[in-house]
Structure 1
Amino acid sequence: MRPASAEVTVALADDQTLFRDGVREMLAADPYLRVVGEAAHGEAAIALCVERQPDVLLLDVEMPGPGAAVVLRQLRRLCPRTRAVVLTMHDDADIVHEVLECGAVAYLVKTIHRAELVAAVIAAAGESATVRLSVSRRTLERLVKQRRTTPEGALTERELEVLRLTAQALSNAQIASRLRITEATVKRHLTNIYGKLQAVSRVDAVRKAAAAYLIEGNQGRSTK
């Protein structure tokens, strides 16, 4: 639902300049929306929101600096009135789950149409508690299954996959190649794994996971 007259201010956070230019032009075509600033990395996104206090932050999940989860948590603490809309190329249930838990109010893949993007931004600026998702049916079904079966704080299926490969002494680049995800996504999963297992390193995470029977013990011994 569109606001009666109020302008919606928007900040853009994406490390691809050409993409930001395109999004800015799309939003500028709507009389209700005004882009008030842009950021190319996580720290800049947080600083921009603190300075400009936009109604909505459009946030990519993979930029230099702190990951999207850190940015979202900082945003919730420092700029509670700014609503975060994640706009990403990744149609991934684990990422959806992560960013929604950290406070995002919408998750959109970059294949959406301009009208969907504008509608999501305007809706995010309102007071509605509705979460807007634009993902594939496969991702939605997996997300629903995760929320029904995964206890709070438990490792997701993807995190377990990453942990098993970590236990085989594979590097982040090798894990990314094996799972067909980016290296930045592997790092984000490892950060989540450390937090959930209260681990301080890859070796510590593997040992704790093996001790808790989350992965096979012989895998845990393969990482020195």
Structure 2
Amino acid sequence: MSAPVVADPIRVALADDHALFREGIRELLSTDDGFVVVGEAATGDQAVAVAVEHRPDVLLLDVEMPGPGAAAVIRQVHRTRPQTRVIVLTMHDDDGLMREVFESGAAAYLTKAILLDELLAAARSVCRDAQTVLLSVSRRTLGRFGGHPAGPPPDPGAGGPAADRAPTAREREILRLVAARMNNAQIAARLGVTQATVKRHLTNIYAKLDARSRMDAVHRAAATGIITADGESGH
């Protein structure tokens, strides 16, 4: 009687600028014989290099790392290593970002609130079927992604965010630096904080301004006078 065929493990590369997060994912994946981590990256450029060098089946990609943005990384991976399926793993439940990465060729958009079993199932699914596209987002974001707002439109007579939703002084400073086309690493260095702190402020800014991306936040802030058109702080 012939021995059963054992499938090769899915080869995974991890791309996130937080070493502790990569270590955690690596440890979690090590508990399943169906997966093996073959490479890690802390920047967008490194993510592309790791995909080329180690030929992973799946690249788990954070959206906010130093270097090229997530969409550019995905496009480069598809050009240089088209067999690699890119799973975006992010803190941002954002339909604008989701649309951008899918248009660039991402196979899945998952929030970091998912469970390990869901992540493993997603990786298996996108490897099994190249046409599979997976989402793990809120109903609100899914509704906006489909072009159907999940709630009432904003009051056109409102002059800007409510007082309790107005960006703080530090958030306005970060908006000004984003308007100057600085990435998270550059902003963190300028302000003397960690990139995680910058990301946290950006998440708050997106929520307060109902923004879908970095530049959308800048445009909304300029339109409401939070910063001026040239990026300087407004009111």
Q: Taking structure 2 as the reference length, what is the TM-score of the superposition?
A: 0.65
Q: Distance in 2 between matches of 1:89 and 1:100?
A: 16
What are the equivalent positions in structure 2 for 1:107-186 lying under 5 Å apart?
107-145=109-147, 173-174=175-176, 180-181=205-206
Q: Which amino acid in the other structure matches residue 47 of structure 2?
A: A
Aligned-residue sequence identity (percent) comes to 47
Residue type of the alignment partner of 1:73: R
What SS does the corresponding residue of 2:79 show, helix, strand or coil?
A: helix
Q: 2:92 aligned with 1:90, yes or no? A: yes
Displacement of 1:75: 0.6
Matched pairs, number: 174
CA RMSD of aligned residues (A): 3.2
SS of 1:34 mapped into structure 2: strand
Deviations 1:152-193 (A, max 9, x none): xxxxxxxxx9xxxxxxxx8752587797139xxx9x644x9x
User: What is the one-letter code of the residue matched to 1:138?
Assistant: R
| TM-score (ref. length: structure 1) | 0.68
**Alpha-carbon distance in 2 for matches of 1:178, 1:15:** 17
Q: Which residue in 1 is equivalent to 2:103?
A: 101
Amino acid paired to 1:121: A
Report the equivalent of 1:10: 12
- Residues 178 and 129 of structure 1: CA distance in aligned 2, closer, same or farther (over 3 Å): closer
Structure 2 gap segments, 5+ residues each:
149-159, 161-171, 179-200, 231-235
More helix per residue = 1
Q: What residue is the counterpart of 1:150 in the other structure?
A: none
* CA drift at 1:97: 0.4
Q: Closer, same or farther in 2 for the Cα pair 1:145/1:11, shift >3 Å?
A: same
Work out which of the residue numbers 71, 84, 96 in structure 1 matches 2:73: 71
Compute the displacement of 1:41 (Å).
0.6
* Uncovered stretches (5+) of structure 1, i.e. residues with no partner: 147-160, 162-169, 193-201, 207-214
- The correspondence of residues 49-60 of structure 1 with structure 2, limited to 5 A, is 49-60=51-62
- Match for 1:108: what amino acid? L
